[in-house]
């Protein structure tokens, strides 16, 4: 089972699927995490990779008590579809 990891050195949550690396890039600004963009390689699109990545990233933000700012259209859409994460928005 693939696992999402927080690559703090690169400021990216990452998920490796079939040898392909998907990322959700972020910037930490005090007690706020700003999601800047999500990248899923074409070879693994359509498998729910981005959703799994963002769900884990948002769960991590909640566990760490961070507010979320989304500059990424995918993250914004994900939060719209999953209202349980709206309280995280800063």
Query: How far is the C-alpha of 85 from the C-alpha of 68, rounded, in Å?
Result: 9
pLDDT band at 2 (very low <50, low <70, confident <90, very high): confident
> In this structure, what token pair is assigned to residue 19?
């040898």
**CATH of the domain spanning 5-88, picked from 3.40.1160.10, 3.40.630.30, 3.40.50.2000, 3.30.1490.270:** 3.40.630.30
Query: How far is the C-alpha of 2 from the C-alpha of 68, rounded, in Å?
Result: 24
What pLDDT does 1 receive?
Answer: 63
Q: What is the pLDDT of residues 77-86, one digit of tens each?
A: 999 999 999 9
To the nearest whole number, what is the mean pLDDT of the chain? 97
* Domain chopping of the chain, boundaries: 5-88
Whether residue 7 has pLDDT greater than 90: yes
Stretch 46-51: mean pLDDT: 96
Q: What is the pLDDT of residues 9-33, one digit of tens each?
A: 999 999 999 999 999 999 999 999 9
Query: How far is the C-alpha of 73 from the C-alpha of 89, rounded, in Å?
Result: 14
């Amino acid at each position: 089972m693939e696992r999402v990891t927080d690559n703090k050195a690169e400021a990216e949550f990452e998920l490796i699927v079939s040898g392909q690396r998907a990322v959700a890039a972020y910037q930490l600004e005090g007690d706020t995490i700003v999601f800047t963009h999500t990248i899923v390689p074409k070879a693994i699109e359509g498998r729910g990779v981005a959703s799994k990545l963002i769900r884990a990233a948002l769960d991590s933000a909640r566990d760490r008590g961070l507010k979320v700012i989304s500059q990424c259209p995918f993250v914004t859409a994900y939060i719209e579809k999953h209202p349980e994460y709206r309280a995280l928005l800063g």
